[in-house]
Amino acid sequence: MKNTRNCTSWGKKLAALLLACATLALCACGNLLGGPQDSAEAPASASSSASAATEKQAGGDLFIAMPADTGSLDPLTAADEDLVNLLTSIYEPAVRVNANGQPEPCLIESWEADESGRVYTFKVRQDVFFADGSTPLTAEDIVYSAKQVGALTGAQFDAPVPVEPNPEGTQDPNAQEGTQDPDNPEGTPGADSSTEASSSAETSQTESSDPGAGSTESPTIEIPQTNRYAQYNSLVESIEVVDSATVKLTMTKPGVEALYFMSFPVMNEALHAGGQTVGTGPYRIESFDASTEMVLTANGAWWNGQPNIPTIVARPMTGSTAKLEAVSTSILDFITTDVLYAGKYKIAGKTQVIDYMTNYYDCLLPNLGNSTLGITEVRQAISYAIDRRELISTVLMGHGVPANMPISPDFYAYDSKYNQDEDLKTARALLESAGYRSSMDGTGNALRFTIIVPDDREMSYRIEAAKAIKKQLEGVGIEITVEELNQQEYYDRLQAKNFELALCSFYLDEDPDISFLFNPGGSANYGGVDNAEITAAIDAARNAFTEEAIKTNYSELQRLLTERVPQIGLYYRMNSIVCSELLTGVGSPRQGEVFAQVNEWYYKKS
């Protein structure tokens, strides 16, 4: 019973010891990708109704998982979702990106951009203290944290030093008349000023400013959520303290990327340099032993009130199987998992399952260098012939959200009029207008394509998705062969554009900059897209910095992507939260921000 949690905590500790032996046997289990259940299963939020508030229970500890090999607690480099969740409750961002991808105030309480859209002035929230209770938040902390992000890629972000003009008639003694920089003979911006990341396969995720940069270490194009803060480093010209409550950020180009860059967690230099994991968030670390547990207690100095749950206890655990077993036996109260079968752990009167969107997007990539796939009507027909909802239901066990393009349907600037559902009548008409048959026994030229797919058995759903697409396309007369390749050969074929259709997965950040997918020279433009209108629309969306302009430009970009179909989107994948049925207020979070509102969670009375 949750209303007696504080009395039963020792019982949980004993049960955890008994579970440890079983956990050892499960440590080798890797996570599978997955996610959703019916959204109706989500619990009511803390503010959903007055009656829910009357059921609120005071206190209660929250038992969660942490990685078994937790070492560094640096919030800038944390990649494991369990660790990210923990650190989200300790550190807060300068600017928060909400579940709809929209920047909103946090430790920065307001901002304004100049007319150029390149220079932003940020006001720091006052009367905020770090969890040590004595260190106030200042502009210096914001700038220090930003420069720590810069250090991930070797960027400095230093403000330019004013140069005193030489007296008239004098010359810099170090200057040599008639000489030029041999690497930059025309005085044009050098390579370091480019906003485009290298598309070299050797570029690592930590070194790349491009969220889709390829890597030989990740041949399946499965971009992990690591160093997401550093992807904008090449766009930052400088950041500086104006006064104790004001920060000035100068970008190399206009656009809202400035606000996404400012989503980094804020640290204090003295505390961080001293090895202390201390932020301004609702919780602070009371104790930490990587082999046994981490205990978080409510931060009494928090500027935004006090959390409803006074203590969070994190236990080391590896693998979804072990975590699911722990939450189903009440060893843990809350876990996140990417397994497709999470729904079976919904137990009446005990646990609930809440699904949330991830940033992982799957698509069917056409090679536009192919003479047939270069025909727009053929690509449109393929897109209309695919039943995305059926794919999600049968292949992903419901763990996905339909998406016909790489712009998330929950993005605040998404224009829903460009949603696309299966339409076999339209698909057949498009094929017939292009001179192709629209059924297996119809008249006209036959279409035959091969879909390449990686044979990664831990993500075998991709193979099943390709087979399901094959069956659907045969319904409009298109013959499909599915070719399973080892990961390196798959990646090599993409790089060489030696394919017809490819089933691909991409990690797309909250800021939907998709230039790396579609711009000529983009690091993941494997299909060979070269369309001036699409490139211009992407640039316009990237450079917009007012909400009206952002929505207008993204709507135009969506129109072009729907009409030209340079890529055939399938779905965004979903993960699942499995937690105590009594835990309330979790809401509908987004990947990377599952604990963003943890202060509002509470246990309802059983």
Same domain, 383 and 478: yes
Structure tokens at 12: 């949980």
DSSP letters of 204-272? -TTT-S-TT---TT-TT----S-SGGGGGGGGEEEEEEEETTEEEEEESS-STHHHHHTTSBP--HHHH
With respect to residue 182, please indicate whether it lies within any of the assigned structural domains. Answer: no
CA-closest candidate to residue 487, choices 223, 222, 208: 222
Alpha-carbon Rg for the chain, nearest whole angstrom, is 26
Q: How confident is the model at residue 33 (pLDDT cuts 50, 70, 90)?
A: very low
Q: What percent of the chain has pLDDT over 70?
A: 80
- What are the φ and ψ backbone dihedral angles of 350, each rounded to 5 degrees? -135, -55
Pairing of strands 447-454, 501-507: parallel
How far is residue 416's CA from residue 201's CA, in Å, rounded to a whole number? Answer: 36
- Examine the domain organization and report whether 494 and 538 are in the same domain: yes
Alpha-carbon gap, residue 513 to 2, rounded angstroms:
44
The pLDDT, as a whole number, for residue 69 is 85
Q: Is residue 174 part of a domain?
A: no
- Prediction pTM value: 0.80
Place of tokens 């690091």: 523
Claim to verify: residue 430 and residue 499 sit in the same structural domain: yes
Matching residue, tokens 């949750």 = 2
| Parent domain of 29 | 2-85+281-350+581-604
Has residue 224 got a pLDDT over 70? Answer: no
Residue 483 bridge partners (DSSP): 452
Residue pair 304/599 in contact (Cβ under 8 Å)? The answer is: yes
Answer with the one of 241, 272, 303 that is the final residue of a domain: 272
**pLDDT tens-digit series, residues 301-347:** 999 999 999 999 999 998 899 999 999 999 999 999 999 999 999 99
| Residue pLDDT, tens place only, 85-131 | 999 999 999 999 999 999 999 999 999 999 999 999 999 999 999 99
Position 230 in a domain: yes
- Which among 185, 460, 454, 458 has a CA at the least distance from the CA of 320? 458
Whether 335 maps to a domain, the answer reads yes
Instruction: Say if CB 365 and CB 504 are below 8 A apart.
Output: yes
Q: What CATH number corresponds to the domain at position 539?
A: 3.10.105.10
The structure tokens listed for 569 are 């989107």
Q: Name the packing angle between helices 376-385 and 547-564 (round to 10°).
A: 100
Whether 588 and 451 share a structural domain: no
| Run of H or E residues at 536 | helix 532-543
pLDDT of residue 162: 54
Q: Is 442 left (phi over 0), alpha (psi -120 to 50) or beta?
A: beta
304/368 same-domain check? no
Q: Is residue 63 domain-resident?
A: yes
Q: Comparing C-alpha atoms, which of 580, 23, 17 is closest to residue 319?
A: 23
* % of the chain surpassing 90 pLDDT: 72
Output the CA–CA distances (angstroms, integers) from residue 234 to 204, 237, 294, in the order listed.
Answer: 15, 8, 36
SS3 for 572-591, per residue? Answer: EEEEEEEEECCEECCCCCEC
From CA 7, how far away is CA 514, in angstroms rounded?
52
User: What pLDDT score does 29 carry?
Assistant: 35
In a domain, 181, yes or no: no
Residue written as tokens 């403000």?
159
* Residue 124, token pair as written in the block: 């720091």
b/e 471-483 (16+ beta carbons within 10 angstroms → b):
ebbebbbbebebb
Total tally of structural domains belonging to the chain: 3
pLDDT at position 592 is 86
Same-domain check for residues 242 and 111? yes
Chosen domain end from 272, 290, 323: 272
Residues 454 and 524 in one domain: yes
Residue 404 within a domain: yes
* 511 and 595, same domain (yes or no): no
> Partners of 39 in the beta sheet?
none
pLDDT tens track for 473-501: 999 999 999 999 999 999 999 999 999 99
Whether residues 433 and 553 fall in one domain? yes
CA atoms of 473 and 176, how far apart (whole Å): 68
Tens of pLDDT, residues 517-568: 999 999 999 999 999 999 999 999 999 999 999 999 999 999 999 999 999 9
Residues 135 and 76 in one domain: no
Evaluate whether residue 562 is within a structural domain.
yes
**DSSP per residue over 184-221, as a string?**
STT----GGG-SSPP--TT--TTT-S-TT---TT-TT-
Q: What's the mean pLDDT in 216-242?
A: 69
Which pLDDT score, from 0 to 100, does residue 442 have? 85
Question: What count of other Cβ atoms lies within 10 Å of the Cβ of residue 176?
Answer: 7
Contact between 430 and 377 (Cβ < 8 Å): yes
The partner residues of 479 in beta bridges, in order of sequence, read: 448
Closest CA to 472 of 377, 557, 382: 382
Does residue 281 contact residue 107 with C-beta atoms inside 8 Å? no
pLDDT score recorded for residue 6: 40
SS3 435: coil
pLDDT of residue 160: 67
Q: Which tokens in the block code for residue 103?
A: 């920047």
Identify the DSSP state of 286. Answer: E
Q: Is 271 exposed, middle or buried (0-12, 13-18, 19+ CB in 10 A)?
A: middle
d(CA 522, CA 539): 13
Residue 39: CATH number of its domain: 3.40.190.10
Question: How far is the C-alpha of 33 from the C-alpha of 442, rounded, in Å?
Answer: 39
Show which of 243, 272, 301 is a domain's final residue.
Answer: 272
Residues forming a β-bridge with 364: 503, 568
CA–CA gap between residue 459 and residue 313 (Å, rounded): 31
Q: What is the mean pLDDT of residues 193-215?
A: 32
Distance of CA 285 to the CA centre of its chain: 26
Considering only CA atoms, which of 36, 255, 267, 63 is closest in space to residue 146?
Answer: 267
Do residues 565 and 424 share a domain?
yes
CATH number at residue 203: 3.90.76.10
Cα 452-453-456 angle, rounded to 5 deg: 150
Asked whether residue 127 falls in the same domain as residue 18, the answer is: no
Give the CA angle between residues 43, 44, 45 to the nearest 5°. Answer: 115
Q: What is the pLDDT of residues 397-423, one digit of tens each?
A: 999 999 999 999 999 999 999 999 999
Environment class of residue 163 by beta-carbon count within 10 Å: exposed (0-12), middle (13-18) or buried (19+)? exposed
